Amino acid sequence: MPNALPLAVPYRDRKRYAWLFSLVIPATVLIGPALMLTTGNPWALWIPVVFFYSVVPLLDFFMGEDQSNPPEAAVPALDADPYYRWITYLLAPVLWAAFIYSAWFVIRTDLPWFGTLAMVLTSGSVGGFCINLGHELGHKNTRLERWLAKIVLAPTGYGHFYIEHNRGHHRDAATPLDPASSRMGESIYRFMLREMPGAWWRAWDLEKTRLQKSGLPVFSWHNEILQPAVLTLLLWSTLTVWLGVQVLPFLLIVSFWSNFQLTSANYIEHYGLLRKQRAPGKYEACQPHHSWNSNHIFTNWILFHLQRHSDHHAHPLRRYQSLRHFDNLPTLPNGYFGMFFVAYVPPLWWAVMDHRLLAFAGRHTSGLNIDPKRRAALVARYGLIDNG
């Protein structure tokens, strides 16, 4: 890359204080319990759920998209500004506190079933924010950030994501080799059955291979899957001793829903897109057009620009405040929370997304990552040209 030219006018990040939403929004788990304790009405526990899955998509729709980019000359100073890192650092204890508080509240409060369900969904969203923060931090080169990534992945028992995502998904994304890339015609529920176990086994194989090449024992503290797993065991054991064994079902269900938030993100991020195969098992380098992108404003504020996924996959070390919009990319019609809801209704998802996929990638099956079990049906439905 050529050296960046000096800025004629100092760059001012217009989103500088908007990133604080990424720190504040996860703490909304406290709103439902606070209102219930104040009013005595357990339906108040549904307010955060309604906010995430109804209000946030509406905010994205009405606020629209932000396609602005920082000038490249400003990126070194932007990346070096400690303000942006401190937001991620401070979020880690907020998420741990919200997760622990949720467990305490559910076990120590007499709730009807619909109140408990609301807390499961809200607490699972907190766990989803944990994984999102682990995603942002896990790509960085500093020891502190990498350890914080493992720490925030621990509450929901998804520490293997640290290995799986960085060394597996980024290598194989938008190819048939990747369990974390969804295929055209594949429902999110079938995808889940392939993605969750596939991600675990790929992570374990990658870490086992790394340790063996380094001459280190697989079952040791050097194993970066076992490190967060130990933290999970310590946290869950402490909560069990404190709150009783009845907390375990809650932790298990919340963790599943948390981890399903990652599955939901993976499902929408590469749906049907395919990198060209250069040789058997060898694919072209991942480019911005191999990921679905979204510039919808509010959700990007609360997810550290995760929705600018195209730039992230092409340049994974780039920090969230510097991620860019590119023209002519496959683009989602709403932010992630809105698209999650669409994905949970497969016929609706296919109605919304399949024609967008074909408009971008074309109608030749060789340019699409298609579910093999639905290939013939999709060829017939959309009049695809089946050329291998």
Alpha carbons 76 and 322: distance in angstroms, whole number: 9
Would you state the pLDDT for residue 87?
Answer: 97
Which residue, among 12, 14, 28, 31, has the nearest Cα to 301 in the 3D structure?
Answer: 14
User: Between helices 247-269 and 188-213, what is the axis angle to 10°?
Assistant: 100
CA distance 137 to 382: 41
What whole-number distance in Å separates Cα of residue 301 and Cα of residue 112?
34
Q: Which of 360, 352, 358, 348 is nearest to 385 (CA)?
A: 358
Question: CA neighbours within 13 Å on the CB side: how many for 126?
Answer: 31
Sequence-distant (6+) residues with CB within 8 A of 235 are: 100, 154, 155
257, 295 in Cβ contact below 8 A?
no
Distance (Å, whole) CA 368 – CA 358: 8
Other beta carbons within 10 angstroms of residue 210's beta carbon come to 16
Tens-level pLDDT at each residue, the chain (388 residues): 444 545 556 788 999 999 999 988 887 778 999 999 999 999 999 999 999 999 999 999 999 999 999 999 999 999 999 999 999 999 999 999 999 999 999 999 999 999 999 999 999 999 999 999 999 999 999 999 999 999 999 999 999 999 999 999 999 999 999 999 999 999 999 999 999 999 999 999 999 999 999 999 999 999 999 999 999 999 999 999 999 999 999 999 999 999 999 999 999 999 999 999 998 889 999 999 999 999 999 999 999 999 999 999 999 999 999 999 999 999 999 999 999 999 999 999 999 999 999 999 999 999 999 999 999 999 999 999 998 7
Position 3 scores a pLDDT of: 46
pLDDT at site 10: 79
